[in-house]
Each structure stands twice: as structure tokens, then as C-alpha cells.
Amino acid sequence: MTGRTLRIVLVRHGQPAIALAPSTGHRGFQTYIGDYEAAGLDPASLPPPELAELRHELTAVFASDRPRAHQSARALGEGVEPMLDPLFAEAPLASPPLPLLKMSVPWWAVISRILWHLGFAPGIEDARGAKLRAEKAADALIAKARETGTLALVAHGYFNWMIGRVLARKGFTKRGSHRARYWNMVIYERHDS
């Protein structure tokens, strides 16, 4: 459909039901990565009012297949049945073998992400693969937005940011900022003529 404004809303999932900042060593962080991936949504984590109001404009909702993401999508309100797809899963992390260090999980995540960009990806998708997947994800969202108008993706902070970069390159303007907070929402718009 032409002559309409395409709106793609990228939403980070709500807070997962897991301790967020325990202190651990590199082996404990590797275990934590798996536990975090399997964690569902904390029942006390509710979408903010502006997101709950926006859901009435949505014609489609996509979500990562991770429990915290699809449960967050369903928490948007009654009748929301998200289309789940592993295409939208978070860019993965691996625990670097730094045996003498003990840090909080957020610090491990920062170090792991930096090393991932430098090529440390043992047994996981590397940065190049994730960039290609973000391209495919953005193209899939654009194609659906052309069919239906306004849609949302409820997924993960870093991968949403990667998708947002692709959308910006494809002429979408951004409202909001990608932040490392739960329920973060960024709206991308483009007029198709």
C-alpha cells in the first residue's frame, strides 16, 4: 500500500523474573546467560501507560521467541497475540574466560559485548551474522508495515538498536532513544509515496 505513513514501534521487553545484578565469576556469568534467556516476565513488570495506550493503534505485534519478550507482548493488553519469531532474538553474548575476575552481571555484559564486536563469539552468532539478521528483521517489519500500517516489535534492547540503525538507513525517522531500560519504546516512521 502506498501514500501512507509506516510506523514501526520497537519495544524492549519488561523486567525478567531473575536477579539482575548478582556478582559472579566468568563461569557463573555463562550460567547466568542461559538462565536469563530462559527467564519469563516478572509479573510485577507492567507496560507504561503510553505503551498501553499505543496498543490500540497497532495492527500487528511481533515478538522474539524468548519467554520474557513474548510474555511482555501479551502484557500489552487483552487480545494481543504476538507473532513469535527467533529472527528477533537478542544478539548473543558469551562469557569471556577471565578466571580471576568477579563482577556484577551488567559489567560482564558490557565486557562481553565489546569483545563480541572484536570477534569473540565462541559457538554463538558473531557480530557480522547479527547485522545480517538485523537487516532481514528490518525488511520483514517494513514489508508488514506496508500491508498493515502501525506495528510493534517486542524484543531485546541491543538487537532493537541494531534494527533501528537499519531502519534509519532506510529513511525512517526516530522518536525516542534506545536505552537500557525495560519497556523502552522507540518509534520509527517513514512516509511511503
Q: Is the pLDDT of residue 65 over 60?
A: yes
For the chain, the helix, strand and coil percentages under 3-state DSSP, each to the nearest 5: 40, 20, 40
What mean pLDDT do residues 137-149 have? 95
Burial of 126 per CB tally in 10 Å (0-12, 13-18, 19+): middle
Assign 56 a pLDDT band (cuts: 50, 70, 90): confident
Q: Is the dihedral of CA 160, 136, 29, 122 positive or negative?
A: negative
Domains within the chain, CATH numbers bracketed: 4-192 (3.40.50.1240)
Mean pLDDT for all residues in the chain: 95
What mean pLDDT do residues 11-20 have? 97
Assign 95 a pLDDT band (cuts: 50, 70, 90): very high
HSE toward the beta carbon, residue 148, CA cutoff 13 A? 16
Q: Is the pLDDT of residue 97 over 60?
A: yes
Rounded Cα distance, 145 and 152, in Å: 9
Assign 52 a pLDDT band (cuts: 50, 70, 90): confident
Confidence (pLDDT) at 2:
53
What mean pLDDT do residues 118-131 have? 98
What mean pLDDT do residues 114-143 have? 98
Rounded Cα distance, 171 and 177, in Å: 17
Assign 22 a pLDDT band (cuts: 50, 70, 90): very high
Assign 171 a pLDDT band (cuts: 50, 70, 90): very high
Hunting for cell 562469557 — which residue is that?
95
What mean pLDDT do residues 70-99 have? 93
Confidence (pLDDT) at 1:
45
